[in-house]
């Protein structure tokens, strides 16, 4: 059975990660997620991040445990944790696209203000892309 977890958190120091930091995150995450059969999409905006994770429960739980201990962010808030019939995300670790446009489409100025319903809408927007 597949599950989807969507969480939001704040970057350490409340700053946007650099292009190099994002490349390093992707460089480590892609092989790990491929190994664990996880698909994922991450969005960075104004010192906050949102990540959509899909996969088997044990694999997601291990990843969430690692993420909870990662000092690059804090205040992890799970918006969605539910079983799914199919994946909405294709890649092992993708960037979710233009964060400002995605947030504007929801009428939200920041990731920190997203509700579970907003997170569901983002998943659908990502699926349609």
Strands 39-45 and 2-11: unpaired
Task: Show the tokens assigned to 73.
Answer: 């962010």
Domain count, the chain: 1
Q: What pLDDT, on a 0 to 100 scale, did the predictor assign at position 96?
A: 85
User: Other CB atoms closer than 10 Å to residue 72's CB: what's the count?
Assistant: 14
Kindly report the CATH number assigned to the domain that includes residue 41.
Answer: 3.30.70.100
Q: What pLDDT, on a 0 to 100 scale, did the predictor assign at position 18?
A: 81
Q: What pLDDT, on a 0 to 100 scale, did the predictor assign at position 120?
A: 93
DSSP designation for 75: E
Label residue 98 left, alpha or beta by phi (over 0 means left) and psi (-120 to 50 means alpha). Answer: beta
Q: What pLDDT, on a 0 to 100 scale, did the predictor assign at position 14?
A: 66
- Give bridge partners of residue 56 from the DSSP assignment: 2
DSSP designation for 26: H
pLDDT digits over 8-65, tens only? 999 887 667 788 888 888 888 999 999 999 999 999 999 899 999 999 999 999 999 9
Residue ranges making up the domain that contains 112:
2-128
pLDDT digits over 67-126, tens only? 999 888 889 999 999 999 999 999 999 888 889 999 999 999 999 899 999 999 999 888
């Amino acid at each position: 059975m597949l599950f989807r977890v969507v969480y939001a958190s704040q970057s350490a120091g409340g700053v946007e990660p650099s292009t190099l930091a994002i490349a390093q995150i992707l460089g480590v995450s892609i092989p790990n997620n491929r190994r664990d059969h996880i698909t994922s999409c991450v969005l960075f905006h104004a010192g906050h991040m949102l990540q959509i994770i899909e996969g088997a429960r044990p694999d997601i739980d291990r990843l969430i445990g690692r993420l909870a201990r990662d000092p690059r962010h804090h205040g992890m808030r799970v918006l969605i944790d539910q079983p799914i019939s199919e994946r909405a995300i294709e890649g092992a670790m993708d960037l979710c696209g233009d964060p400002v446009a995605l947030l504007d489409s929801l009428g939200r100025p920041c990731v920190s203000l997203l509700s579970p319903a907003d997170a569901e809408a983002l998943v659908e927007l990502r699926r349609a892309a």
